[in-house]
Every structure is written in C-alpha cells, then in structure tokens.
C-alpha cells in the first residue's frame, strides 16, 4: 500500500503545560515513537505538522505549518493532504503513545486507492488516528474556509462523501487510543509501558522454559 503519514504535533498543549511532542515515555519522546510507529506500519513518507518556532531538524522529516495558526488538527490535516505524495495519508496525533504499528497496518489493509478508513469506538469516530485519501483535501479546505474546527465533524463529512469507511475497533485494540493531554496521563502512560515490558519479559522467560 502506497502510504504517506503525518504526525500532528502542532497543538498548543494547554492542559499539559508544555509541548507534548517532546514528552518522554521510558526515555523516548512522543514524536520519535510516533514516527517509528507509522514507518513500521508502512508509511514511505513521514511529514510533521509542527509549531512555528520549534526545531524539528533532528527528525529528518519535512515539516508543515498551518495556513491558519491555532485552528486545531484540521489545519494540519489540510496541509498534509495537500503535500502528501502518496494517494493515502495516515494521520496520527502525537499524543497517542500506545498506538501500535500492528493496529495501523489493520487500517491500511482495509483501504483502497481512493478510499480511507476511520476507526470507530463506542463513543464515536477517532479522526486523529485514521487514513484519508488525497481527495479529502477539498473537504478539509472547506472546513478551514467556513471556520469549522471539529475533527470528528470533518471525519463525518468524509464518511458522507464516501471518501472513507468506518472500522469498528476491537476491545483489545481500544488502549491504542488512550491519549496524554494532562501530566497525570503521562505518568499513567509510563506505568503502562513498563507493565507491558514486564509482561513481554515474563512471557519470554516462560517460553524459554517450555
């Protein structure tokens, strides 16, 4: 699957109190984790939707800045849909440190050349970990023009145009969508990551004795 990706890292991070892109879980910045995850999922091109004045030069990825500053994630999606070389764009918010390449590959496997996929949980669509075709650019641009800022409304508009299809998220994959918007969420993410690592280590020791 020919796939570009964008990491949405241009938010103001008001609730966290500092730029979430550079927060770390077990010594790895969120933005590094996100880049590695989308590359492992098959993205051949990785773009960064960033903040003016921030230095992303160490990441080795093209950086995009919003046409409308402080507009929210749709502004970053619009720029990325315009710039992406591939017919499909994987969008991933930087504050989803539990997202996995395995889940993203599930999404990619359900795409077609001109039709993307949006995950759906019990409480609604998840538009910031989804795959959009390039033809959704016109919808994103219209949202900017009309000052419509809600990402879920954008996703629903893409569904109405049959540019994307919904994908119901299995219960086992729901933790992929736990985000980190507050300091206490960052602490919980670090604990969860350490617990997952311990489970893998215990499993490895068990199998070594079988």
Check pLDDT > 80 for residue 165.
yes
Check pLDDT > 50 for residue 206.
no
Q: What is the pLDDT of residue 24?
A: 87
Q: What is the pLDDT of residue 13?
A: 53
Which of these CATH numbers, 3.90.226.30, 1.10.10.10, 3.90.550.10, 2.60.40.420, describes 3-208?
3.90.550.10
In whole angstroms, what separates CA 192 from the centre of its chain?
19
Domain boundaries defined on the chain: 3-208
Nearest to 92 by CA among 197, 184, 4, 157: 4
Q: Is 207 exposed, middle or buried (0-12, 13-18, 19+ CB in 10 A)?
A: exposed
pTM (2 decimals)?
0.85
Check pLDDT > 50 for residue 198.
no
- pLDDT tens digits for 106-133? 999 999 989 999 999 999 999 999 999 9
Question: Does 185 or 56 have the greater pLDDT score?
Answer: 56
């Amino acid at each position: 699957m020919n796939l570009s990706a964008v990491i949405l890292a241009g938010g103001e991070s008001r609730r966290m109190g500092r730029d979430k892109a550079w927060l770390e879980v077990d010594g790895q910045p969120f933005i590094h984790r996100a880049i590695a995850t989308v590359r492992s999922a098959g993205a051949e091109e990785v773009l960064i939707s960033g903040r003016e004045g921030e230095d992303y030069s160490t990441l080795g990825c093209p950086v995009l800045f919003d046409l409308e500053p402080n507009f929210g994630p749709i502004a970053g999606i619009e720029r990325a849909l315009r710039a992406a070389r591939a017919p499909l764009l994987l969008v991933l918010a930087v504050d989803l440190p539990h997202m996995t390449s395995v889940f993203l590959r599930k999404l990619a496997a359900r795409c077609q050349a001109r039709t993307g996929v949006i995950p759906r949980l019990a409480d609604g669509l998840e538009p910031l970990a989804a795959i959009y075709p390039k033809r959704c650019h016109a919808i994103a641009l219209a949202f900017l023009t009309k000052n419509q800022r809600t990402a879920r409304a954008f996703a629903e508009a893409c569904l109405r145009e049959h540019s994307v299809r919904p994908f119901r998220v299995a219960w086992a994959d729901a933790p992929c969508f736990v985000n980190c918007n507050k300091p206490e969420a960052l602490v919980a993410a670090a604990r969860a990551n350490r617990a997952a690592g311990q489970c893998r280590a215990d499993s490895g020791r068990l199998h070594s004795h079988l």
